[in-house]
Amino acid sequence: MSDPRVAGIGLTHFGKHPERTGRDLFAEAGLAALDDAGVDPDDVEELFYGNFMGELAEHQGHQGPLMAEAVGLDVPATRYESACASSGVAVREAVKTVRNGESDVVMVGGAERMTNIGTAGATDALSIAADDLYEIRSGMTFPGAYALMARAYFEEYGGSREDLAAIAVKNHEHALPNEYAQMRQEITVEDALDAPTIADPLGLYDSCPITDGASAAIIASEEYAEENDLDASVAVTGTGQGGDKLALQDRQYHARAPATEAAADEAYADAGISSDDVDFLEVHDCFTIAEVLALEGLGLYEYGEGIGAAARGETTREGDLPVNLSGGLKAKGHPVGATGVAQIVSLTKLLEGRHQRADAVEDATTALAHNAGGTVASATVHVMEVRE
């Protein structure tokens, strides 16, 4: 059983696209992935597509066949929905399908159109990833939920707003040369601390923006890649998924992410590696505290140690464990259905040496993608490695 290869990747600019539809955005990303792979569209056997709020933002459900048509594919197409982990789940299913020999070539991707419904509309749409009966009806929003998690973390392990600000500063700096990123401006710790409060202790720069965008990748079997002389040196060698109670009040932990822990354990075992083997990674930093929870849940830091990693310079591009070299959700942007595959796109480019920040990981061979849904009620982790 061989490891599926990333044969081609495609991405739109992340940001505001008021005149474009979701199908238009995905067509751009999907066609770019096909072109990058050099794969005949007739060879693609399935489409795995992630989207969260299509019914609310565009009054459009049943998006799988629609997106296949947009890219010019006449194949079975399935939409996956797991809140902000929607295309992370789609990647997992695509990898398993190719690995099991059910298909030799598949497209995986995702898209989201969010800015057209405004800040209030997008906040309301995002909130349905929480428990409607016990959270949404009480006025819970995700800035508020992650603020509660940040408070719980501070109380249990310590840390400060300055530590969170350092994460925002790092991710903004990483995004500066990224032509696809939504927020390409440098900020300082003082900027972050002086910004308006969104939900105490989280401020404006602790939060990812509302974003439109799409991403896509071609996943092929090793045999197909060899037979068709594809340049596909990056393999997905491990995949994992974990879950937790949907509502915060039902959980055992508020300052830990058991879904991430479970997904990481499964992915590491699947790839035959440990957390010590990870050279760099993209994590789901919808809020700065989410990056901390991810790093600790992935086993890269002990509990209570991840909060200071950015301030100590360890997760910057000059550090020993660069995190979110794309800018992450924080600065690259977060079109929720596209984010999981966008992480795969960024990591592939970094491992292949064609990313704007590739000099930070010049000799790296192993990367990790972490995608989370809601307040990490769901999570996927994928291990990516360079193969000959």
- Rounded Cα distance between 295 and 329, Å, is 15
Please say if 254 is a catalytic residue.
no
In angstroms, the first-to-last Cα distance of the chain is 16
- Name residue 290's amino acid: A
38: burial class by Cβ within 10 Å (0-12, 13-18, 19+)?
Answer: middle
Strand ranges in the chain using DSSP code E only, listed in sequence order: 5-11, 46-50, 77-80, 105-112, 197-199, 202-203, 213-220, 234-243, 280-282, 366-373, 378-386
- Rounded Cα distance between 128 and 336, Å, is 13
Please say if 286 is a catalytic residue.
no
Residues in a beta bridge with 96: none
241 DSSP 8-state letter: E
- Rounded Cα distance between 231 and 311, Å, is 38
Whether the CA torsion 44, 45, 50, 54 is positive or negative: it is positive
Q: What are the φ/ψ torsions at residue 283 (nearest 5 degrees)?
A: -120, 165
Burial 331-355 (b: 16+ CB within 10 A, else e): bbbbbbbbbbbbbbbbbbbbbbeeb
H-helix or E-strand spanning residue 95: helix 86-99
Kindly give, in sequence order, each residue whose CB lies less than 8 Å from that of residue 102, ignoring residues fewer than 6 positions away: none
Q: Are strands 378-386 and 366-373 parallel, antiparallel or unpaired?
A: antiparallel
Q: Which of 13, 17, 84, 284 is catalytic?
A: 84
Q: Which of 13, 172, 284, 334 is catalytic?
A: 334
How far is C-alpha 134 from the geometric centre of its chain's CA atoms? Answer: 27
Enzyme catalytic residues: 84, 334
